Amino acid sequence: MLTFGEELSGSDLKSWADWSIGFYYWSPSVSQVYTELKKLETLGFVSSREVSESGGRRRRVFTITESGIEALRSWSRRSEIETPVLKHGVMLRLWVGHLNDPDQLKSIVLDHIDNLEAKKLKAIEHADNSENEPAWAFTEMSLRWIGRHFQMEIDLAAQLLDDIDEAAARFAQGDANALGLPQPVNAGSWKLI
């Protein structure tokens, strides 16, 4: 974020992360930001200075150094391409769906879809607010990508609604009681025994 040429405070960096990389990578806590800034400054990758603001308030702002730019450039060019790690709470809840009612599972999926719709709109809004600023071209591109990614996740989640019915029907045919699991009542619902 500092490579865009602005001096930023730790809280500025946190805000920038929330509306940009937080959509597809990670949104650090404020304490993580300041911890990493101290490490980067110790390594000579960033420098800082205190600035005065109106009302006598002071804050520390950070700037990337040439060695910091080179380190980031080297990482970007040479690091291994990693498979994205998916941490998907909804899928984890569906994985133990045999402990829940199919209608409740569908409600979880519908809430997930609503959440994704809101995040998709927010990502697209942030991309559109770049006002065609050349320095933000790649940032805008990544935000548009995450909007498409959220749409694909919405489409996959919508398919889950039918998949839940199919799984519930299959589960009802099995002998769940032999495993001490919820006893099937019918193809669309079960209850705890």
Give 152's pLDDT tier (boundaries 50, 70, 90): very high
pLDDT at 35: 96
The strand pairing partners of 191, in sequence order, are 183
Residue 73 to residue 3: CA distance in whole angstroms: 10
Residue 40 to residue 121: CA distance in whole angstroms: 34
Question: What mean pLDDT comes out for the span 40-56?
Answer: 93
pLDDT at 93: 94
Length of the chain: 193
Residue 132 to residue 57: CA distance in whole angstroms: 33
Q: Say if residue 107's pLDDT is above 90.
A: yes
Residue 38 to residue 29: CA distance in whole angstroms: 15
- The C-alpha R_g of the chain, in whole angstroms, comes to 23
Q: What does the pLDDT look like over 55-85, one tens digit per residue? A: 878 999 999 999 999 999 999 999 999 998 8
What's the chain's average pLDDT? Answer: 87
In Å, how far from its chain's centre is CA 78?
24
- pTM, rounded to two decimals: 0.73
CA dihedral 176, 177, 179, 180 (to 10 degrees): 120
